[in-house]
Structure 1
């Protein structure tokens, strides 16, 4: 009797590998659980092995799996105690090869972030924090105590004026504080935080103006959007460095501008003056006629022809050739806090040579003759290196003063409210309306053709009417 051979296979039981979690018992009997994991490499190339300790084994096991998974996926962020305030400092310090005014703009954008979230750890930042920041900025940032944490010039001016209920002159305020107190007082007067007793004398706000500040507690949606854009750039830089796993600020919804037609007026409120984007051809023509006898008529013409404020204020006579009627844009003057800085134009495209229209050439020739006569009368030296936009004694105009003068002249002419840069929008829009190619219009204004069409062009009511009427004509 034969029997088939029987093969017996014995499989050893495979035990699951124990997780490398160790136990430590302190002298007082407290038990903690810890493990070590390689989380990357150090700057010198050696492995970066770190120790993690937790109170319970369940928490240690959960974190071990999370950390090892993120390390394998390349998304692990090493623990850091860096605060939002410190992160902003480091990011700003690394912004090189950009204009001083751009750095100043970034600093202003990040001020609300520092005031509201500055002490929070960067790695603990959440989308909810970003949403809370937006809500605070829109509702109470302008009057919240946090707004004055850095002792802004406006806050200092308010404090000085409040200490003189009988009134204080501008000269006394300027002597007590550094900076451009004239512009600060103008803005505070417009928002009702100070009152003007008479010309050049200011006092605390009257009782009937107490509600004005309440109506202007928040910041504009445009300001909030600018802050979120810069703050998101800060956070994204730390995502790129591996400090953060994701950019939670990029997920925060940007607020939109309020629709003037949907803004309900409360009883007793004064009507809101809507700021238009640009003027019509007739309106800009009315403005030109209204300022024809102004001393700086040539400067206003340059603004009407689309030059930036910085370019008009940075123009020197050495860059103007009245014989050939040409102008070279090579310098610009901008405000940086309480200072005015002169430097290169905004971009490479901004460096351009413009053949001037006849009316601008004649206005510049008249202004140059006037300034030479003024210099002779005052005994002030004259040279072609002098700025075109200057006072009688040769002192350069501050950018804020030029803007304030524009609004006074506009209001005196009874024209719709636009920003000073609205003259640039008007110039671009009207040139496009007249059929000039976008690339030529862009070259005249010193920017990209895509920007010309997307930002600066503005459709007029007459154009819409013509389009509609021509469809089935």
Structure 2
């Protein structure tokens, strides 16, 4: 009696012809497939390129709806620990699962233990992220920015509920609640905006490190920062300030700053080796700034800022006069002189602290305001508007644009990356300029007869 194939049942598939994990037929393929061997070296099965190898601590999970995920169970036992520790995670892709295995093993090898992402708080991660961010990325954080980030992390974010939350638990509503708390405590909109930037940066790093799926702080609206209305000094007021500054040994510094529109750090970091008084040029390659309470030096603010500039005659004259004074101070100090190579220095040759320069500017501006008030006591004159040291850069930009009308040239002189910053932030209309601009209408009408006369009489 012959038994049919149906009655016999289908012949079971050959395990050597299928992926042991997902069941994909292999046929005669071997490229990309990984063998599963017995203790004696014989092959007992294969895994396809889309599945974890037999020696990896990863298992493929297939859901009822066809969704495939990958379960990682990797050893994370610290050396000498009496109890075994494992890290278990389920991820959407095999590459992500392998990255977790690599990360866990590298962390255990480096630090002796692995801080599970599920237990890693915002502050704990930020403490690891900030030092790394200073040396990685397309443009690493400068010492000044890193110090500012550290200050906000320590004083504002760390003590908050957000700082204590686990990365995986943070939601957008938590970030909004944190910002609302800062505003309620009286923190200004600019400060809250800067703190939000820190939160966004830290969470972006966590996303790249695959510690959280998305940056929940991205898209959170920062408080509206009111536009700062800057009141520039008129030429007569600026001249009065330069006269007062000229009575101080560092008066040349402020004159040089005005005529070159350099930033505070660029002036304090300028060295004689980068200046050519004969040709009237200077290379801006050093930036001396404050990181916390400590002065430090690094490259200029942006790539566009690190370049050479042509010095105007007024700036060259200021440097020549200062050099004579500095040479006298060096001679009088003798062996006590500390040769730093900086253009502007303290009496003993040491480089200037940028914070001192700012305080000196405020002091000199105050003296100027008092003298002008005394001189104009019987006149209906405007008092000297408040101005910061950086305001000299705004004055320089506005005066240059007012004189030339060439926005591109002014932007290049300020070493901005584009003209939009120059136009929207740095150029301001001086007092009386609006009246002159409107006056151009009447000027165009002159010579056309009655309309011009009527315009003049109205």
Fold match (TM-score > 0.5):
yes
Quote how far apart the aligned CAs of 1:49 are. 1.9
Alpha-carbon contact 2:123-2:153 (below 8 Å) kept: no
Q: CA deviation at 1:373?
A: 1.0
Whether 1:88 aligns to 2:110 is: no
Verify the 8 A CA contact 1:279 1:423 in the aligned structure 2.
no
- Which structure has the bigger radius of gyration? 2
CA contact (8 A) 1:326 1:354 kept: yes
Q: Deviations over 1:309-355 (max 9, x none)?
A: 11100112222222222222121211112221122222222222222
Q: Give deviations 1:151-202, integer Å, cap 9, x for gaps.
A: xxxxxxxxxxxxxxxxxxxxxxxxxxxxxxxxxxxxxxxxxxxxxxxxxxxx
Write the mapping of 1:34-433 to structure 2, written as runs, cut at 5 A: 46-47=58-59, 48-49=70-71, 71=92, 80-95=118-133, 96-97=135-136, 98=140, 99-111=142-154, 112-116=156-160, 117-140=162-185, 218-257=186-225, 276=230, 278-305=232-259, 306-380=261-335, 386-414=341-369, 415-433=384-402
Matched position secondary structure for 1:132: helix
Which runs of 5 or more structure 2 residues have no equivalent in the other structure?
A: 1-50, 60-69, 74-88, 101-115, 370-383, 446-458
Change (3 A) 1:356 1:250: same
Shift of 1:409: 0.8
Counterpart Cα distance in 2 of 1:334 and 1:471: 47
- Are 1:332 and 1:343, in contact at CA under 8 Å, matched by a contact in 2? yes
Question: Which of 392, 405, 423 does residue 453 from structure 1 map onto?
Answer: 423
Equivalent in the alignment of 2:38:
none
Q: How far 1:435 sits from its partner (Å)?
A: 2.7
Decide whether aligned partners of structure 1 residues 50 and 44 sit closer, same or farther in structure 2, where only a CA change above 3 A counts: closer
CA distance in 2, matches of 1:434, 1:461: 14
User: Cα distance 1:288–1:86, how it changes in 2: closer, same or farther (>3 A)?
Assistant: same
**1:437 partnered with 2:406:** yes
- How many aligned residue pairs are there? 326
Using the TM superposition, give the Cα deviation of residue 75 of structure 1 relative to its aligned residue in structure 2, in angstroms. 12
Kept in 1, the 8 Å contact 2:148–2:292? The answer is no
* Distance change (3 Å), C-alpha of 1:234 and 1:464: farther
Q: Which runs of 5+ in 1 are unaligned?
A: 1-39, 52-66, 141-217, 260-273
Cα gap change, 1:83 to 1:412, in 2 (>3 Å) = same
Any idea what SS the aligned residue of 1:379 has? helix
| RMSD over aligned Cα atoms | 3.5
Aligned-partner Cα distance in 1 for 2:336–2:280 = 25
> Over residues 420-448 of structure 1, what are the superposed CA-to-partner deviations in whole Å (9 max), with x where a residue is unaligned?
21111222222222235333222222221
CA distance in structure 2 between the partners assigned to 1:408 and 1:390 by the alignment:
18
CA contact (8 A) 1:138 1:224 kept: yes
Distance 1:278 1:380 in 2: 44
Distance of aligned partners of 1:86 and 1:341 in 2 relative to their CA distance in 1, 3 Å threshold: same
TM superposition score normalised by structure 1: 0.61
Q: Which has the higher contact order (CA 8 A, sep 6+)?
A: 1
Distance in 2 between residues matched to 1:278 and 1:235, nearest whole Å = 40
Name the TM-score, length of structure 2 as normaliser.
0.62
